[in-house]
Chains A and B, each alone.
Chain A
């Protein structure tokens, strides 16, 4: 038996294109599992994808005022996202220009009077300019320029609908180009309030012991797993319904994802440029969602089809490579931060229209906690599967994952419904569960990895 291994080091560059085999004649596809286990590939992913392209950083509502900051990482590099005195969102590497100590040490906070380094007191304004160094007259020659010692900016920072993205690599397309028609789906969420949307207080973060791509691929189009991995969630949905029909207890009904795979449900998965994917599907009981109460108002403002997408459809967007905007059983951001080849941090942030009535907020929070919390009734089962996939991926004698479901039934363009709401540049599959989303993500991965490798070798 031939064991698939990496071809690296002495034998030359990695042939990334060999990681996905998609046979257009038989409509079969498979993906090499070593992409999940190789520390060398992980290292390259950090350089070429997470430190070399647009990634999601945080939401504007997490830094509402001048001087508010949020700390995170881009690949392996610590960064600060901060709102300056003009309200603009800036990004810097979280490392003092002097000796590199961090300037912000908490998740969030306020630096309205600028960054003051606690080590030797160098001070920077919110645009990263070095404004003061102690004992400057006696310590430095006259040729010493303060402006040579500013903070290092994140090369590109841009915002769409409150979602803040950044790229450490200046040589990338605009954010608008990067997101493409995905912006339409983001807007369906942000349009739910004139005041925009906000991240609700409270962190919900876990680390699973598996590769980051396992989650991205699951949320990017794995509609196959719901009835199996989430069997107990389905059971609880039924139990809740029974209780609520008995009228004895005030229990919140859940969204009937158990009925999503029914033949007459209108839904599809779309693969879009730059690795993004979208799953949409009619919800069997949209009336149990907070946004449904405003359906008529949305029809007036946005038209019938768009209003339907806003209130009655499950919409799950995977924005490659590190976030999901989800409006389905609940409305949330799922943020993915790779830590090591087999370690990934996931944060669930509940998002809601600003100023929504308390009744709705309570309902929304309930639906968020039910499925997605780190102690929810669904998310933990997904995360556990990722951990077990990681263990299985070490079986080098079984090097391929199958990704064939629905490939015989996929379409080159978008479809009428999606086009009507502005999602034009996409290919799509006929059924929820179409594995073309994963294939598409990996093809984008190949593109980024090859480009990065070529850049480094030339």
Chain B
């Protein structure tokens, strides 16, 4: 019988197709790994309701575990508790930054209209002089920013709470 610890290690080799530096574990979407004899069940929770990468990650998890010789794999999508960017690991946040995506910052509640803009440091040059271009970016989980210092446009992995 395979150990859960081993499964978690294997899951560290399954990457988010849209943010390919993050594993499903870094992203915090793996809720649990349950083992019953030969049967392995992995519960994952979607980042966004319409995230098209979820189906792909589900298939990738099955494929990876099959590759490791585990054949009876079931991936279940659970909605509760709802995913939050707080579940992205510290290691994940560092990887995002190195990849050129600003990691999520603490943000005020979305119900505050025209709130003081938050400071999102530029992942390229580190400048804090950046501006929001659009709350909605290249994928559901990102906002679009630009650096006023080095002029580089960049993605910000927006806070979801």
Whether both chains belong to one complex is answered with no
A contact residues vs B (CB 8 Å cutoff): none
Measured CB to CB, the residues of B under 8 A from A are: none
